Amino acid sequence: EPEVTQTPSHQVTQMGQEVILRCVPISNHLYFYWYRQILGQKVEFLVSFYNNEISEKSEIFDDQFSVERPDGSNFTLKIRSTKLEDSAMYFCATRGDSYEQYFGPGTRLTVT
């Protein structure tokens, strides 16, 4: 069964550093999403991406964040200058023509 994959599974970085989180969507899916889950809290929407542009973003997704699909297969989330409060589990999700979203296993980001 096709799966969404994410790399790395765990990323430790120092405050102020840039990080790039990677996602490989299910092959025929065209809608991509990033969510995050701070430890012990609910899953929160960050951004959605379709047809090579952002279709929607939340108030969390400020200028420190960016997304792109650099090569037609990967879907990336970049955090330009990480802060302590960016520590969270980041989930990529993708969907096809139906409405259910399939989530990857997540990347745990730890900012020290």
Partner 1 sequence: AQSVTQPDIHITVSEGASLELRCNYSYGATPYLFWYVQSPGQGLQLLLKYFSGDTLVQGIKGFEAEFKRSQSSFNLRKPSVHWSDAAEYFCAVGARDTGRRALTFGSGTRLQVQP
Residues that bind partner 1 (CB under 8 A): 31, 33, 35, 41-45, 48, 56, 58, 91, 93, 95, 99-106
The residue (of 9 and 81) whose beta carbon lies closer to partner 1 is 9
- Nearest-10 Cα torsion for 33, 25, 76, 73: -140
Q: Residue 15 CB, nearest distance to partner 1 (Å)?
A: 24
- Tell me the backbone φ, ψ of residue 10, rounded to 5 degrees: -145, 130
Q: Residue 16 CB, nearest distance to partner 1 (Å)?
A: 28
The residue (of 81 and 108) whose beta carbon lies closer to partner 1 is 108
The residue (of 8 and 16) whose beta carbon lies closer to partner 1 is 8
